[in-house]
Structures are given as C-alpha cells and as structure tokens.
C-alpha cells in the first residue's frame, strides 16, 4: 500500500540530509513522501527528487549571524528554541496542518515542536526521531550536557554524581515552551509533556537515527525506540572538485579539517582554522581545509603547497581519502567520519557535539580537544598521537566496517511502515 508520509525537520545540513535519505528510501518503496521544511531547504529537496512543502519559520539557516547565535555554547539552545522556534509555533502548526491533512503518517524531528500537536489534532499517527544519543537524556547512559572539559572530567571521574545531574536539564528549559502550551489550550488539547524532553516522543515509535557503535538502547529510552543506524545523503555537494581531486592524487593522505555547515559560522571557527594551519605547518603534513563560504578570507594567505582550501566537498568521498579527519562532532559529519574508517580528532563547539566527541573517545577511534583548550600546540599533540599510536587506525577501520554494514534507510522504512498499520 502506498503511503503519504509527511517528514519534518529543522536545523543544519546535518538535520536535513538524513531526512532526504529517508524520503528517497520511502520513495523507492513506492510511498509518497513530502518534506515539510522551511523554504531555504526547497532547492536541495527538489534536487533530491522529492516534494517540498513550505513550513514556517522562514529562518534563513545560511545567514551567518543567525547560525553564529545558534552555535553559542552557552545560550545557543535557548536562542534556537525560545527566540527562533517557539514564537513561530502557531505558524508552524498552520502550515504543517495544511500539508498533513489526508496524510497517513508524520515523521517529526526534535525541533519541529508543532508536529505532535498536528498529529494529535488531526488524529494522525506519527513517528518521532532523534539524530544523536543526547536527545534521550538517559540516566543510564548519561550524555555530556555542556561542551566543557570540566564537565567531561566530572562525567568521567564521578559518574554516579554526574548521573544525578541529568534531571536538572529539565529545569533549564521549563519556561521555553509557553507558546506551545498556549497553542494546545486553544485547540482543546491536554497540556502534554515537556516538548524539549518527553513530549517530543511518539507512542507509535521513535527512530534513533544513529549508529549502534555510539549508543546502545537503554531501559529509560522512550518505548518502541529503534536504533536504525545513520542515514546518509551527501549528494548535495556533488563530486570532488577537480582541484581537490588533483591535490589528493599528488601526495599522501592529508589531514582533513571541517566544521560542517553550522560550526563553520561559530565565533571560534577562525581560531580553529588558524590553529590547523599552524599545526600542519609545524608537523609538515598535508591538509585539506573545508572553510565554508566566508572562511577563506580569514585565513593567512601565505602560499602553502601542502594545504588545499575549499568551501565544501562531499564528506563521504573526501574522508575516505584522509589520513585523519578533524571535525566538530555534528551528527552528520561524525557518521561520515565513522564510516570512512579513518581516525578522528573532534573539536566540539555546542549542542550534541560534546557528547558525540566523548563517545568517539570512549569508542577508541579518536581523541578530543575542547575549544577552551584549542590552539596549535593542542592540535599538534593530538595529531601526533593519532599518527603515532597504531591502535587508533586499527580500531577506526574495524568500526568503519560496522557502520558501513548498517542499513539505516531500510530499518527506518520498516519502522515507519509498521507504525502505519492498524
């Protein structure tokens, strides 16, 4: 039976690509997915051969100042939820309800707060999703809640004390959802759970769209949660640019530095790239720097034949030809790095990136440098350790095989089809 499935999301390219991959997988099975997203995503949705529907807020996630505020390590989450999304939740509800009428099922994202309300008001089934383990705030597998080395030390050295801090995450967000509660009252719906926490999860199931190598299911996760494995979609970048391909062909595998599509606009991004250049200069290593649309103007313009600078490149194609991948720890970049089988160094900036980073370290495939300690010396020491200690390469290669064998698209489609059956 062909199903009309409305898929919602909001965020960076790492929040878009998995849902494009999901939409394409559903389409291959004969279903009719529609991606209900802000208009700035429309071109990429159509390029993937999928239907796009406009859902507010009309935030331009290519706007550097907006992304910079979202990536603030202390206030970014509050700005994103309280100032950007919640004031537009009524508009989001109106747009999404129009798209969802007559649909068979809705797939929600952690930031599409109107989706559960639409499903409940229209009597539709829905499936929730998360892209990183942090989203569950599990006390049995407690996430790193702040991107800071002192918090990581507390988590590592006093796990019982740290586990007791998990419920405090709810206190920080308890007032953010007032507009959503007002919407539910207007519609005659019960108040529901906190939409930042338990209220985002569907009774029909939750797709944990990440690899099992970074987190196994826990007893305090929402019922009916399925770890699908990651869903990748790297076609937005096309193929390797010719100049980059030539550089890769001309020498040994380089160190690849990238901050994805969001952290590249963070306040600390210029410092990251300056430290990268100084580190590879000192080590005499070849490097590729993916700097985004504005980063090149902030770099030292000295000619370096051992360094190639580009705005973007397809991660899957590039990472597989790297010696080491240095990245910010966003879910999309992380899974591309894991699948490449290459050792990695994670420099987390905000949100789930810190938790993803410490999971990489525990997995034995890489190291972490927190941004508070970021400089050329720290990068140089970490890169030397990754190159000099062979167990990183062996472990990364073994984990890469496991990640590449996962079939996230198939698992997610199976779960969606099961949830849609009477």
Cα(90)–Cα(377) distance, integer angstroms: 49
Tell whether 193 and 286 lie within a shared domain: no
Quote the percentage of the chain above a pLDDT of 90: 69
- Rounded CA gap, 140 and 124, in Å? 32
CATH number at residue 269: 3.40.50.2000
Q: Could you tell me whether strands 366-368 and 344-346 are parallel, antiparallel, or unpaired per DSSP bridges? A: parallel
Given a cut of 60, whether residue 236 has pLDDT beyond it is no
Q: What is the 3-state secondary structure (H, E, C) of 244-310?
A: HHHHHHCCCCCEEEECCCCHHHCCCHHHHHHHHHHHHHHHCCCEEEECHHHHHHHCCCCCCCCEEEE
Q: Let me know whether 323 and 257 are in one domain.
A: yes
Q: Nearest CA to 324 among 218, 233, 252, 232?
A: 252
CA distances to 11, 117, 189 from 199, in Å: 19, 10, 13
* pLDDT level of residue 128 (50, 70, 90 thresholds): very high
| 393 and 310 both lie in a single domain | yes
Do 207 and 320 fall within a single domain?
Answer: no
Split at pLDDT 50, 70, 90, the class of 297 is: low
Lookup: tokens for 421: 């059956």
CA distance 366 to 370: 13
Are residues 171 and 203 located together in one domain of the fold? yes
Domain identity same for 170 and 285: no
pLDDT band at 129 (very low <50, low <70, confident <90, very high): very high
Q: What integer pLDDT is reported at residue 28 of this predicted model?
A: 95
Question: Considering only 47-56, 163-172, 279-288, which range has the smallest mean pLDDT?
Answer: 163-172
Q: What integer is the mean pLDDT of 42-54?
A: 93
Q: How far is C-alpha 153 from the geometric centre of its chain's CA atoms? A: 24
**pLDDT exceeds cutoff 80 at 369:** yes
SS3 of residue 206 by DSSP: strand
Encoded tokens for 311: 């705005």
Do 239 and 318 fall within a single domain?
A: yes
Which pLDDT does position 235 carry in this prediction? 59
Range with lowest mean pLDDT among 171-180, 240-249, 317-326: 171-180
Q: Is the pLDDT of residue 237 over 70?
A: no
pLDDT band for 295, please (50, 70, 90 cuts): low
Residue 285 predicted with pLDDT over 80: yes
| 333 exposure class (CB count in 10 Å sphere: 0-12, 13-18, 19+) | buried
Per-residue pLDDT averaged across 320-330, rounded?
Answer: 95
Nearest Cα neighbor of 289 from 312, 267, 266 is 312
- Domain count of the fold of the chain: 2
80, 70 Cβ separation under 8 angstroms? yes
- Do 225 and 146 share a domain, yes or no? yes
Cross-strand bridge partners of residue 6: 34, 106
Does pLDDT of 191 surpass 80?
yes
Any bridge partners for residue 385, and if so which?
A: none
Written as one string, the DSSP assignment of 62-131 is T-HHHHHHHT-TTTHHHIIIIIIIGGGHHHHHHHHHHHHTT-SEEE--TT-THHHHHHHHHT-EEEEEES
Long-range pairs, 52-55, Cβ under 8 A, ≥24: 53/6, 53/95, 53/99, 54/95, 55/8, 55/92, 55/95, 55/96, 55/99
**Whole domain around residue 374: which residue ranges?**
235-405
Provide the 10 A C-beta neighbour count for residue 214: 23
pTM over 0.85: yes
* Same domain for 266 and 136: no
Q: Which whole number is the average pLDDT over 354-363?
A: 96
- Same-domain status, 189 and 100: yes
Pick left, alpha or beta for residue 188 (phi over 0 → left; psi -120 to 50 → alpha; otherwise beta).
Answer: left
Claim to verify: residue 273 and residue 296 sit in the same structural domain: yes
Residues in the chain, how many? 422
Q: How far is CA 287 from CA 255, 325, 398, in A?
A: 5, 10, 24
pLDDT averaged over the chain? 91
192: its two tokens: 């529901």
Nearest to 347 by CA among 314, 325, 320: 325
Phi and psi at residue 393, in whole multiples of 5°? -65, -40
Q: Do 320 and 350 lie in a common domain?
A: yes
Alpha helices in 167-268 (DSSP H): 168-173, 178-186, 242-249
Q: Is the dihedral of CA 55, 266, 365, 250 positive or negative?
A: positive
Picking from 15, 24, 10, 30, the residue whose alpha carbon sits closest to that of residue 417 is 30
pLDDT tens for each residue of 75-107: 888 888 898 999 999 999 999 999 999 999 999
Report the range of poorest mean pLDDT among 78-82, 89-93, 178-182, 259-263.
259-263
Q: What are phi and psi of 4, to 5 degrees?
A: -95, 115
């Amino acid at each position: 039976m062909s199903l009309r499935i409305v898929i919602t999301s909001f965020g960076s390219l790492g929040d878009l690509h998995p849902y494009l991959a999901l939409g394409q997988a559903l389409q291959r099975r004969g279903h009719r997915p529609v991606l209900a997203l802000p208009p700035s995503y429309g071109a990429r949705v159509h390029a993937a051969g999928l239907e796009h529907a406009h859902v507010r807020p009309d935030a331009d996630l290519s706007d550097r100042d907006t992304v910079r505020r979202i990536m603030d390590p202390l206030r970014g989450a509050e700005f994103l939820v309280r100032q950007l999304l919640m004031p537009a939740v009524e508009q989001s509800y109106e747009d999404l309800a129009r798209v969802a009428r007559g649909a068979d099922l809705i797939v929600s994202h952690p930031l599409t707060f109107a989706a559960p309300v639409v499903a409940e008001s229209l009597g539709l089934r829905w499936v929730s999703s998360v892209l990183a383990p942090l989203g569950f705030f599990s006390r049995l597998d407690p996430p790193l809640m702040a991107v800071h080395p002192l918090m990581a030390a507390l988590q590592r050295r006093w796990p019982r004390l740290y586990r007791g801090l998990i419920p405090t995450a709810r206190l920080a967000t308890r007032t953010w959802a007032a507009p959503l509660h007002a919407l539910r009252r207007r519609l005659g719906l019960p108040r529901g759970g906190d939409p930042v926490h338990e209220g985002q999860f569907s009774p029909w199931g939750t797709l944990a769209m990440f690899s099992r190598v970074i987190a196994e299911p826990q007893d305090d996760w929402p019922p009916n949660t399925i770890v699908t494995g990651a869903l990748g979609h790297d076609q937005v970048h096309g193929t390797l640019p010719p100049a980059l391909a030539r550089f890769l062909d001309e020498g040994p595998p380089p160190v690849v530095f990238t901050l994805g599509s969001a952290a590249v606009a963070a306040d600390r991004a210029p410092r990251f790239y300056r430290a990268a250049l100084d580190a590879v200069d000192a080590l005499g290593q070849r490097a590729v720097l993916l700097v985004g649309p504005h980063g090149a103007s902030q770099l030292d313009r000295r000619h370096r034949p051992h360094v190639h600078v580009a705005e973007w490149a397809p991660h899957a194609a590039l990472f597989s030809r790297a010696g080491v991948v240095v990245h910010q720890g966003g879910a999309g970049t992380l899974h591309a790095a894991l699948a490449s089988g290459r050792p990695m160094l994670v420099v987390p900036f905000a949100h789930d990136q810190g938790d993803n980073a410490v999971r990489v370290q525990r997995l034995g495939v890489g190291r972490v440098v927190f941004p508070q300690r970021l400089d050329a010396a720290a990068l140089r020491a970490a890169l030397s350790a990754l190159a000099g200690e062979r167990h990183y390469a062996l472990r990364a290669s073994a984990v890469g095989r496991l990640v590449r064998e996962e079939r996230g698209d198939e698992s997610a489609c199976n779960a969606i089809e099961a949830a849609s059956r009477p």
